[in-house]
Amino acid sequence: MQRPVSFRGQSGRTHVFTLVDAGGDWPTRQGVVLFAVPEHYGWRVIRMCALRGRAHDVQPLWAQADAARYGGDAVLLLETGCAARRRLILEDLEAGLNPLWPTRQDMLEVEPEIAVAA
- Distance between CA 1 and CA 13 in Å, rounded? 25
**Confidence band (pLDDT; 50, 70, 90) for 117?**
low
| pLDDT for residue 99 | 77
Residues 33-42 have a mean pLDDT of 92
**Within a 10 A sphere around the Cβ of 40, how many other Cβ atoms?**
4
Q: Comparing 117 with 69, which gets the higher pLDDT?
A: 69
Share of the chain above pLDDT 90, in %: 67
According to DSSP, the β-strands at 3-8 and 14-20 are: antiparallel
| pLDDT of 109 higher than 70 | no
| pLDDT of 105 higher than 60 | no
